Structure 1
Amino acid sequence: MVSSDNLATWLLEVMLSHPALTCALLLVALVAIRWYIRDSYKVEGFGQKHVLITGCDSGFGNLLAKQLDRKGLHVLAACFTEKGAADLAAAASPRLKTVLLNVTDGQSIGRAVEFVSKEVGERGLWGLVNNAGTSIPVGPNEWMQLEDFKKVLDVNLMGVIDVTLHFLPLLKKARGRVVNVASVFGRLSIAGGGYCLSKYGVEAFSDSLRVDMGHFGVKVCIIEPGFFKTGLTRLDLIEADLERLWTRLPQDVKDSYGHTYFDEYLKAQEFSMNLLASPDLSKVTRCMEHALTAQFPRTRYSAGWDAKFFWIPLSYLPSFVCDFIPNVLLPAPKGNRNV
């Protein structure tokens, strides 16, 4: 074993013999410590701040609403269903208020604005978390019709834009925060349908909004989760919708994929979800909470180990490398190999 005295002597010799390297390492260490300290600063007055969260029936939104409620913030939880609202209210403190909201319905958004305006008063709205979303239908683009794309885009992108525009006056009044839930698939498009399109759009909208609102003291943050076990990744719902898409395809299109393709595609989906999807939703909600409560929130948060160490780094690599991943995960059509 190496004694502590010998180790200290060795380290001192290395530092003295490589002064440039030592200075560089010390500088990196100081920057990292400074960043960590700055990142830990919190805003004050949680009890005076209101936060509106969409999509609180389940998943990230539901967990975040409870999490912020325990921290003492005034949570305004927007739910899609009355049951979701009732269940959440029963699990939280009386401070948490629920409101029904359909992000694709302008009248529903207008009623939510009236409700929130009465709750926040002259303080304004400190935080808006655009969390509501859908992933279905998802699958090969050729299996889709235009309405399938619109169904996802209306919720995940147009809904985010519409809700944000309605609440900007209240956010500007509080010099608050907009937290938009994108995805690692706002960086990489490895599946057809509207989901990746919508998340790319959320990234672009958030970036332009951040520049616009910076003049008014409103900060805009983007959450980029990897795979998590939520309603968006429920295999039974995804597989049922894929069967719907496959069943309505013309026979010549089915033949071009091969008679075994559909079953192989379902198996690939099941394998990917079971391998990658994490049950720990708090990895995402901790990022959301930091974006809302940190004095210096980050522009982007990658949530989940797969996002940090696989999907996000992959997005910076050449396209032929990115294309390799879906080719590995998904089956190849076997019908018309000569086409």
Structure 2
Amino acid sequence: MTFATVSSDLRINSGLLWLTVIPGLPLLVYLLRDVSFIVGLLVFALLLVLYIVIQRFTSGIDLDDLEKRAVFITGCDTGFGNLLALKCLGRGIPVFAGCLTEQGAEDLRTAAKNLPGYLDTVLVNVASTESVAAAAKYLDEATAKYGGLHAIVNNAGVFGSTFFDDFLNVEQYKEIAEVNTFGVIRVTQAMKHLVKQTRGRVVTMSSAAARVGAINMGPYTMSKFAVSGYCEVIRQELKYFGVSVHVLEPGIFNTPMAAVQNINAWLLRSIGKQTNPNVNVVVDAYFHAITSRFPHLRYQLGPDCQFLYLPLSYMPTGLRDAIFTVLEMFPNEDPAAMDSRLNCGLLWLAVIPGMPLLVLLLRDVPFIWGVAVFAALPVLYLAVQRALKHIEIEHLEKRAVFITGCDTGFGNLLALKCARRGMPVFAGCLTKQGAEDLLGATASLPGKVETILLDVASDKSVAAAAKYLEIATEKYGGLHAVVNNAGIMGATFFDDLLNVDQYKEVVEINTFGVIRVTQALKHLVKKTRGRIVTISSASGRLGFIGMGPYTVSKHAVSGYCEVIRQELKYFGVSVHILEPGVFKTPMAAECNVKARLDSLWEKVPSSTKEEYGECFFQKCRGQLAKGIGMFADPRVDVVVDAYFHALTARFPNLRYQLGLDCQFMMMPMSCLPTGLRDALFTVGEVIFKVPVPKCAQ
């Protein structure tokens, strides 16, 4: 049997059934080409209904021998975790319940004393590496009689500080990430070897907040975006071991975490109205993910998630913002406050009544012509957008910008481009050498460039830079823009070979660095009603094998920007995100990629090296370095030009998808159903003969 055959046998799964959709839809359009447009739409609607019926039927089939399938659940003191533990015990499932307090553990034992399932409570604080390690050590022995763990349920979480980002600090973001994000990573890394033994499941609580950013929800949204990114990555990695990964995305439910006494008073009225009292919806979804033979990869729970947040997450950013703006008008507010929120994004709302009206007008034309008309609309939109993008704002020489990460790469090139156009540039550089090189390169350019030594991972360094800029930007009336460009790639390999500190190292710069700089300087941007421009990544939309820390950090950045974009509109400040694919920068240089991998492999425990194999590592190392060299876009000016457009255009984009890989692969795939996306990844891995871990062979 060839290597490719082994690979394909390992990776083909039920998700590949989704691949019939790709040739199926164009074929169906062709077959319906002569029927009326309205009839064609009805056929597609019936197919969707048929899919839902089949899904409902298969979802009711349970696994056998539930009494032999042990599960570990975090956050069992109260709320969803407590109720799930009781439900599992009621069905005879052995439960190891992670509780934060002895009182919570005692209460659970009392409530479960008459239930048939075996219960063992384990004191665990998911925010503590030592506590999680102790729990994992105990479970190694305690689950031996069950052959390991059938499922890990990452349920523990906190809501944290909820108010405008202006009222928060980076420590409050860290506090929530420590539990909601790094807690999930700690528990999963410490215990997934037990799940591999049973070819079981990892079930994680995310949130509807991981799809759209809402005002006042910065820390929580950021943490849940990050969790979704982590689950995207490990779902691709753990499939080699027969382990599936499932994510719950509930809306707002009436749990202790969302109790009105635990929410800021400003939010009390709205939270009280929106919470869903039917918490069993979430508990049943958890139970389904644990016990069903055909569990969903994602569970959207609650009417608010299913009918508001989920549809909004697939809409263009401008349309989503416009809908949020309209929804914010409904409470009894001063009309002047409403007027302040209307902006050009509301033009998107014409799409909502416009689409049904267009369907009505096209009801009698042949279906193929109706499809052609709808296909022509995006072309028209792009043509108008392309015409508007060339209009620049005036007086660039009076609009000061601050750019982080200017030593090399995109930041360095952007500083040069701005200086050539006469813009005042304050360039944040990590090293003196980087600052000196930049000053030398810009000495003869018309724009004034000042360098500031800055480490975005340091509160003191950012505070010192902000203090200097307070005075230095007075003559410009503040900052026209803050550009969050600084970032690192960090450790890149399978999650099994990483630890939570390596995730933190990347998040400290790529995520918390953005938050530090933005919080410290946005008051200067408010003065000019300017812009905040942040680099995210195509990895902020998708999860790729071996890219855990980077993906988590970029998902988190996207979540943060989603929130502050809603909040800063009140001050006339716009927020823009760049999502580049792979470009040839120093961070992606082949020598740097190999050096990072070699350094990582040296520190990996011998047991993990044995599990994956030296041959697997060397093949991955070679393919990754070669692949980046082959597919990385050398046109770094594409990113620099997008940065500059976001700074200087009168009508800047809210998001910039950059590079052919992002525009034609990652962006479309991010909009696909999870099963279809996984199937496409699987086929790609087979075609390119991606290596398989030794133990999976």
- The TM-score normalised by the length of structure 1 is 0.88
Partner of residue 562 from structure 2, selected from 192, 207, 215: 207
Verify the 8 A CA contact 2:535 2:578 in the aligned structure 1. yes
The alpha-carbon distance between structure 1 residues 252 and 32, as it changes in their structure 2 partners (threshold 3 A), is: closer
2:441 to 69, 87, 91: 91
CA distance 1:89–1:253, shift in 2 (3 Å): same
**For the residues of structure 2 that align with 1:193 and 1:56, how far apart are their CA atoms?**
25
Identify the structure with bigger relative contact order (alpha carbons < 8 Å, sequence gap 6+).
1
The residue that corresponds to 1:48 in the other structure is 398
CA distance in 2, matches of 1:322, 1:154: 32
Deviation at 1:262, TM superposition (A): 1.2
Return closer, same or farther for 1:310/1:329 CA change in 2, 3 Å cut-off. Answer: farther
How far residue 275 of structure 1 moved from its aligned partner, in angstroms, is 1.7
Deviation at residue 31 of structure 1 after TM alignment? 4.3
* Equivalent residue for 1:242, pick from 581, 585, 597: 597
- In structure 1, what is the equivalent of residue 641 of structure 2? 286
Corresponding residue for 2:541? 187
Q: Secondary structure at the match of 1:220?
A: strand
Question: Which has the higher mean CA deviation after the structures are superposed, 300-309 or 51-60?
Answer: 300-309
After TM superposition, the structure 1 stretch with the greater mean CA deviation from structure 2, 280-289 or 255-264, is 255-264
What is the correspondence of 1:124-273 to structure 2 with a 5 Å cutoff? Answer: 124-190=478-544, 191-273=546-628
Partner of 1:318: 673
CA distance in 2, matches of 1:274, 1:29: 33
Letter in structure 2 aligned against 1:335: C
Find the aligned partners of 2:636 and 2:392 in 1 and give their Cα distance. Answer: 22
**Is 1:117–2:470 an aligned residue pair?**
yes
Does 2:685 match 1:335?
A: no
Which stretch of the first structure deviates more once superposed, 83-92 or 184-193?
Answer: 184-193
Q: In the TM superposition, what whole-angstrom CA distance separates every residue of 1:96-119 from its partner, at most 9, and x where no partner exists?
A: 111110001111111111222222
Identity rate, percent: 34
Contact residue 589 and residue 629 of structure 2 kept, 8 A: no
For the structure 1 residues 32 and 152, does the alpha-carbon distance in structure 2 shift closer, same or farther, using more than 3 Å as the test? closer
Report how far residue 225 of structure 1 moved: 0.6
Residues 149-174 of structure 1, C-alpha deviations (whole Å, 9 max, x = no match)? 11101000000011100001101111
Q: Is the 8 A contact 1:76 1:96 kept in 2?
A: yes
* CA distance in 2: counterparts of 1:252 and 1:310, whole angstroms: 36
User: Given that residues 136 and 232 in structure 1 are in contact (C-alpha distance below 8 angstroms), is that contact kept between their aligned partners in structure 2?
Assistant: no
Contact 1:206 1:222 in 2 (8 A): yes
What amino acid sits opposite 1:230 in the alignment? Answer: T
Tell whether the 8 Å contact from 2:531 to 2:573 is kept in structure 1 after alignment: yes
**Relative to structure 1, is the Cα distance of residues 119 and 268 closer, same or farther in structure 2, using a 3 angstrom cutoff?**
same
Tell me by how many angstroms 1:326 deviates: 5.5
Cα distance between partner residues in 2 of 1:96 and 1:68: 9
Q: What is the alpha-carbon distance in structure 1 between the residues aligned to residue 636 and residue 521 of structure 2?
A: 27
Contact 2:401 2:481 in 1 (8 A): yes
Query: How far is 1:34 from its partner?
Result: 3.0
The structure-2 alpha-carbon separation of the partners of 1:26 and 1:243, relative to structure 1 and needing over 3 Å to count, comes to closer
User: Take 2:374 and 2:503, find their aligned partners in 1: how far apart are those partners?
Assistant: 51
Count residues with an aligned counterpart. 320
Q: Identify unmatched segments of 5+ residues in structure 2.
A: 1-364
**2:655 equivalent among 300, 303, 317:** 300
Q: 1:31 to 1:185 in 2, by over 3 A?
A: closer
CA distance in structure 1 between the aligned counterparts of 2:380 and 2:454, rounded to whole angstroms: 47
What is the distance in 1 between the residues matched to 2:689 and 2:666?
Answer: 14
**Per-residue deviation, residues 255-289 of structure 1 (Å, max 9, x unmatched):** 11123111111111122111211222100011111
CA distance, structure 2, for counterparts of residue 219 and residue 114 of structure 1: 23
Report the Cα distance in structure 1 between the residues aligned to 2:593 and 2:376, rounded to whole angstroms: 50
Residues 590, 629 of structure 2: 8 Å contact kept:
no
Q: Deviations over 1:220-247 (max 9, x none)?
A: 0000011111121122222222222222
**SS at 2:694 equivalent:** coil
How far the C-alpha of 1:36 sits from its partner, in A, is: 2.5
Secondary structure of the equivalent of 1:260? helix
3-state SS of the aligned residue for 1:125? coil
2:457 to 101, 104, 111: 104
* Pairwise CA RMSD: 2.2
Q: Closer, same or farther in 2 for the Cα pair 1:61/1:322, shift >3 Å?
A: farther
Contact 1:136-1:238 within 8 A present in 2 as well = no
Q: Is the 8 A contact 1:227 1:304 kept in 2?
A: yes
* SS state at 2:672 partner: coil
Change (3 A) 1:315 1:321: farther
* Residues 126 and 254 of structure 1: CA distance in aligned 2, closer, same or farther (over 3 Å): same
Structure 1 CA distance for aligned equivalents of residues 600 and 464 of structure 2: 35
Distance 1:290 1:150 in 2: 32
Contact (CA 8 Å) 1:221, 1:298: kept in 2 or not? Answer: yes
